[in-house]
Homo-oligomer: A and B are copies of this chain.
Amino acid sequence: MNSKDIAKIVGVSRSTVSRVINNYPDIPQATREKVLKAIKEYNYYPNASARRLVGMKSSTLGIFIIDIRDNEKPHHVIEKNEDLLYDNSYFSPFINAFIDQSNKAQYHVLVSTIYSSDELWKIQSAFYEKRIDGAVIVGSSNADYNKIVEIMDKDFVTVAVDFDVEKENIDRVMSVNVNNYSGVSDAVEYLIELGHRDIGIITGDLKKLSGKIRFNSFKDALLRHSLPLNDDLIAYGDFTEYSGYEGMKKILASDKKPTAVFVCNDTMAIGAYRAIEECGLKIPENISVIGFDNSYISQYMSPSLTTVNVSLPEIAKCSIDLLLECINNNEIKAMQKTVNVQIIKRNSCKKID
């Protein structure tokens, strides 16, 4: 069933059918209705490839999840017997939101995960083969995006989400970022409000921009309230669960015991919980813990984890807005959007006197 068939059925030329579909104004209501009726009755859908071929958009957005292992295995690919367990649940809600919102904007979504630098061609391929009009690139670290920026021609419409974009590239790309600074700021203010004065931190990977910013914001917040920044209460982690465990062990081993610890992401908080339990301490009675990300598990931890929520649907919305504007105006502007965050108060923090 194609437009020629519909034309024959209605007794009109193929051009007319096309003009009806594309809402040309010079079609009388009577003709339009006849055509639409036949289209519906015979279940006709225009061939997407043919449309794309004559210069129309492909009506498809891409989403590329960068998941490149540096040296070791990535934290979310757990080997189990011989097959891998795929689990990047951190991105999953974002992906779902992005797909749903794209669909609502009449766009299809092509999803692909990139597990090593060798697979970066997937991005090129999707663009050059004209399968997608634009794409979101999410995840991974500094070094990779430089490679990606380099690999991609500048005429690919892409948005980097939660990506560490180097300063020299900041005006060559579009990006949507999380307001890490204010999130950490709020978290620390909240702890102070609860009466805490000896506050520790388990940092994220300081090689990553988000790790750096969160740490800086933490220090600034203490400074603003003239609170001491005790070296014994700082543990340097790398966003993995195990580093959270080790970090908390280190902090608890010091003389200066904190009454609260800010952990730079929820994954590390899982490890921190374990360390605290092993030391025979109770959350929040003996020590308050606050995380960052509001990841899926955080609500199921016991006690449920107070954390900073990053609204992934909002990030999805911002990304799509940028992409569509860019696609429709046919011009690429380097733009940054920043998404705000809010504290989710649960049961891992306690007021003290």
B128 & A45 in contact (Cβ 8 Å cutoff): yes
B129 & A45 in contact (Cβ 8 Å cutoff): yes
Identical subunits present:
2
Which of A99-147 touch B at CB < 8 Å? Answer: 99-100, 103, 108-113, 115, 119, 122, 124-126, 128-131
The answer, yes or no, to whether A235 is at the interface (CB within 8 Å) is no
Distance in angstroms from A257 CB to nearest chain B CB is 23
Distance in angstroms from A76 CB to nearest chain B CB is 9
The answer, yes or no, to whether A83 is at the interface (CB within 8 Å) is yes
Closest to A302 in B: B302
A35-57 vs B, Cβ < 8 Å mask (1 yes, 0 no): 00000000111111110110000
* In the bound complex, CA of A100 to CA of B83 (Å): 13
B109 & A111 in contact (Cβ 8 Å cutoff): yes
How many A residues touch B, CB cutoff 8 Å?
55
The answer, yes or no, to whether A311 is at the interface (CB within 8 Å) is yes
| Of listed A44, A86, A89, A95, residue having the most chain B CB within 10 A | A86
Neighbour of A313 across the interface among B83, B300, B311, CB < 8 A = B83
B130 & A311 in contact (Cβ 8 Å cutoff): no
Neighbour of A96 across the interface among B83, B87, B96, B109, CB < 8 A = B87
The answer, yes or no, to whether A15 is at the interface (CB within 8 Å) is no
The answer, yes or no, to whether A227 is at the interface (CB within 8 Å) is no
Neighbour of A112 across the interface among B52, B99, B125, B312, CB < 8 A = B99
With a cutoff of 8 Å between Cβ atoms, the chain B residues found around residue A58 in the complex are 49
| Of listed A49, A50, A87, A113, residue having the most chain B CB within 10 A | A49
The answer, yes or no, to whether A93 is at the interface (CB within 8 Å) is yes
The answer, yes or no, to whether A270 is at the interface (CB within 8 Å) is yes
With a cutoff of 8 Å between Cβ atoms, the chain B residues found around residue A297 in the complex are 296-297, 300
A138-166 vs B, Cβ < 8 Å mask (1 yes, 0 no): 00000000000000000000000000000
With a cutoff of 8 Å between Cβ atoms, the chain B residues found around residue A281 in the complex are none
Which of A276-324 touch B at CB < 8 Å? Answer: 277, 296-297, 300-302, 311-314
List 6 A-B residue pairs with CB atoms under 8 Å apart, sorted by A's residue number: A60-B131, A87-B96, A88-B92, A88-B96, A103-B112, A108-B131
Residues of A within 8 A of B (CB): 1, 43-50, 52-53, 58, 60, 83-89, 92-93, 95-97, 99-100, 103, 108-113, 115, 119, 122, 124-126, 128-131, 270, 277, 296-297, 300-302, 311-314
Question: What 4 pairs between A and B have smallest CB-CB spacing?
Answer: A86-B96, A45-B128, A49-B49, A49-B52
